[in-house]
Structure 1
Amino acid sequence: MRSLIQRVSSASVTVDGTVTGSIGPGLLILVCAMQGDTEKQSEWLARKVVNLRIFRDDEGRMNRSLIDTGGAALIVSQFTLAAETKGNRPGFSTAAPPEEGRRLYEHFSAQVASHGVTVANGVFGGDMKVALVNDGPVTIWLETPG
């Protein structure tokens, strides 16, 4: 699985003029299931994200995790993270098929919540408008091993 995480002061996702998910301080997590991904990769990524020490401690150093801070997660499916950009028009053939992508996205979201993190979601496959206040800015790319 691939993910782009952003430390945020706040974030929200809107579909058809309706806010479907919003958070205060925490992480905006854009996530894409790739062909061949399983629950194992989803669980690894969830553990990595909630334990990644990218929040400031009392001395201003990035030394605290999402769990440590009690922050929330806004999780948004984003198949375009699978983009292949050899030419000028991206291809997405390495993304998991939609049904599998949805299943792994939902599993990932449930795994993040299982760590005690408050989770809000976008709409899988929806035309979403994402708003965020990037804190730092801190933006990190994560990909599951093998």
Structure 2
Amino acid sequence: MKVVLQRTRNASVTADGRLSGQIESGFVLLVGITHEDIEKDADWLADKIVNLRVFEDEEGKMNRSLLDEGKEILSVSQFTLYGDCRKGRRPNFMEAAKPSQAEKLYDYFNDELRRKGVHVETGVFGSMMDVQLVNDGPVTLIIESK
């Protein structure tokens, strides 16, 4: 699994012109799943993300986690994270999981984040979506389970 994490002041996602998810402050996660990923990958990523210390403490040092701060997550599925652009002029998406496999693991991942006590909003899996956010920092990280 691959996640692009962006610290945000606020964010929303719409699908088919309808608001699907919205948060005030926390993380926007763009989530990519490959055909080799299993629940263990989702478990590891969920634990890493909620405990990652990327929020400032009283001294301005990145020392506090999403859980410490009581922040939220907007999670958006994005198979294009597994687009291989090394050859030709069109991305190859052979490494991305098939939609049926990816959706199950994406749902599991979001449920795991919720089990850890985080409020999670989502986009609509498999839909064309518009994501709006205000980057905070900006802080953007790429986290991979393998």
Which amino acid in the other structure matches residue 41 of structure 1? D
Aligned equivalents of 1:14, 1:43: Cα separation in 2: 27
Aligned equivalents of 2:50, 2:116: Cα separation in 1: 7
Which amino acid in the other structure matches residue 142 of structure 2? W
Secondary structure in 1 matching 2:130:
strand
Tell me the equivalent position of 1:75. Answer: 75
Give the TM-score normalised by the residue count of structure 2. 0.97
Gaps of 5+ in 1: none
Secondary structure in 2 matching 1:35:
coil
1:18 aligns with 2:18: yes
Tell me the equivalent position of 1:134. Answer: 135
Identical counterparts, % of pairs = 49
Aligned equivalents of 2:114, 2:4: Cα separation in 1: 18
Gaps of 5+ in 2: none
Secondary structure in 2 matching 1:129:
strand
Following superposition, which runs of at least 4 residues in structure 1 exceed 6 angstroms of deviation? none
Aligned equivalents of 2:35, 2:115: Cα separation in 1: 25
Tell me the equivalent position of 1:5. Answer: 5
Deviations 1:24-66 (A, max 9, x none): 1100001011111100001101101111101111111111110
Shift of 1:16: 1.6
Which amino acid in the other structure matches residue 72 of structure 1? E
1:102 aligns with 2:108: no
Map 1:24-63; keep pairs closer than 5 Å: 24-63=24-63
Secondary structure in 1 matching 2:143:
strand
Shift of 1:75: 0.4
Aligned equivalents of 1:133, 1:56: Cα separation in 2: 17
Give the TM-score normalised by the residue count of structure 1. 0.97
